[in-house]
Amino acid sequence: MIDSYESIMAQRADIMRASIGLDYAKYETGVVAFDYERLLADTGYDIDTARQVQRKTAVGNTPLVELTNITELARTVAAPGMGARIFLKDEAANPSGSFKDRRASLCVHEAGKRGYQGVVAATSGNYGAAVASQAAKAGLRCIVVQEAFDCEGIAQPEIAEKTRACEAYGAEVIRLSVGPELFYVFLCVLKETGYFNASLYTPYSILGIETLGHELTHQVQEQAERFPDIVIATHAGGGNVTGTARGLLKAGAVNTEMVAASVDLAGLHMASDHDFNRKSFTTGHTGFSMPFTTWPDRADVPRNAARALRYMDRFVTVTQGEVFYITEVLAELEGLQRGPAGNTSLAAAFVMAQDLDRDRIIVVQETEYTGAGKHPLAQLNLARRLGIDVRRGDPRDSRPGESIVIPECPSQLTVVDVDLDGVRQSYIRHAIDSLAAGDQLSDADFMFLAAETRTSRHYVEDIVNEMRAKIR
């Protein structure tokens, strides 16, 4: 018998508890507050332990490559004496071809340690392949629930490529159309199988990325005898920024600026069947990064361990056309053909390098493997089929879902800063809106919200009082 949507949603808390083995309730310290650091610490995975786990399945220890030709290109359009050195952490060297192996390694290891017979992941992309790869190595079954196509059965080439990758590692892939059934089916699978929930947002997943920030810090020290000035991470659900920043801090790079970069897809709704294929990027875009930054607990676990707003110093966006452009630049100038997600950060790094002295260092924190479906031509051909105008010109003329404008020259690339103060205020408003009738914020809640937004209790109190005044 198949449980109804309402029945499954009513069982959500119990299903999650059984599939993760974590009692999130014991970390709650207020009506919105929870002991975030204790949640992470109780896993038992410090940097050394995580690295030991990852080393057993050939995860990590990926190359750090200085992009000398791209750096020189940036200097040709920068002012005299400007143009920071650009380095790239080549995470495509991981077993399944992306940094997601770091997340999956700890999740799968934990599942095996706890005696689960298999793992389940809800994802459209690289993470599914990473979980499938790690599960194959561990001898565990794997099911990937994937939002794959629109109501007409049209799948983005990149998503189809990732389906192939998941299946190549022996995973069962359940492909669904866009809509609310993804989470319902995910919960049904967890309940039916009793498998481990290898969510992107468990503490294991986030701690797996800490090794990336820690590793690249030491590699920069070895190659340049200093800490990186800026590290840029492509930002979607927040785990990439969170884990990398925590790794930087643990390596002693306390003054390194952590920058989040996303593709600007403003105006496209990620749950819309009409909009689903009108975005040429399946991750690393504002359709995920903005909602998860302003309210991370919209995730598929009770408390999301990815808290990006705690760690980002700056949040910038680039256009689709700029990412396609820099993808080709990377291939033609550096001989590295890599997938689109990491190149979001590279597009931002190319622009930001022009504003820094030549002795400064920017690290693009990850790459991903490429394939037929990930190649720019595959994505752009689909866009043309959907009637999207693809042309060369000023990328600022782009309109997500309507046009993709690819730069004609490197000087046309720019970044747009996201107003972090506005994001912080939005986060606090979401927290207040989540309160049940009669809930009152305690000292612990105010201090938690201040930590979440990297502000002060006074700042939080001002926003809360402003909201209450409007209600009156």
pLDDT digits (tens, 9 = 90+) for 203-238: 999 999 999 999 999 999 999 999 999 999 999 999
Say what percent of the chain tops pLDDT 90. Answer: 89
pLDDT value of residue 85 = 98
Chain-centroid distance of CA 404 in Å reads 23
Mean pLDDT of 445-449: 98
> By the 8 A CB rule, do 262 and 235 touch?
yes
Phi and psi at 119, nearest 5°, equal -130, 150
Q: How confident is the model at residue 468 (pLDDT cuts 50, 70, 90)?
A: confident
Mean pLDDT of 109-138: 96
Higher confidence at residue 276 or residue 64? 64
DSSP assignment of 238-300 = SHHHHHHHHHHHHTT-TT-EEEEEEE--TT--TT-HHHHTT-S-SSSBHHHHHHHHH-GGGSS
Mean pLDDT of 168-181: 92
Structure-block tokens of residue 416: 């747009």
Residue 240 CA to residue 260 CA, distance in Å, equals 9
Mean pLDDT of 257-284: 92
pLDDT value of residue 472 = 59
Q: Provide the whole-model pTM.
A: 0.96
The dihedral through the CA atoms of 454, 458, 459, 460 has a sign that is: positive
Q: Is 437's pLDDT higher than 80?
A: yes
Q: pLDDT per residue over 356-384, tens digit each? A: 999 999 999 999 999 888 999 999 999 99
In whole numbers, what is the pLDDT of the chain averaged over residues?
95
Q: Per this entry, what is the length of the chain? A: 472
> By the 8 A CB rule, do 217 and 14 touch?
no
Q: pLDDT per residue over 377-433, tens digit each? A: 999 999 999 999 999 999 999 999 999 999 999 999 999 999 999 999 999 999 999
Other C-beta atoms closer than 10 Å to the C-beta of 411 total 12
Mean pLDDT of 142-167: 93
pLDDT value of residue 337 = 96
pLDDT value of residue 180 = 76
pLDDT value of residue 357 = 98
Q: Which of 366, 328, 130, 140 is nearest to 231 (CA)?
A: 366
Q: How confident is the model at residue 1 (pLDDT cuts 50, 70, 90)?
A: low
pLDDT value of residue 186 = 95
Mean pLDDT of 231-250: 98
**CATH 3.40.50.1100, applies to 1-418:** yes
Other C-beta atoms closer than 10 Å to the C-beta of 392 total 13
Residue 360 CA to residue 256 CA, distance in Å, equals 11
Residue 378 CA to residue 61 CA, distance in Å, equals 31
Return the C-alpha torsion angle 292, 298, 302, 305, nearest 10: -10
Residue 71 CA to residue 74 CA, distance in Å, equals 5
Residue 36 CA to residue 27 CA, distance in Å, equals 7
Higher confidence at residue 179 or residue 310? 310
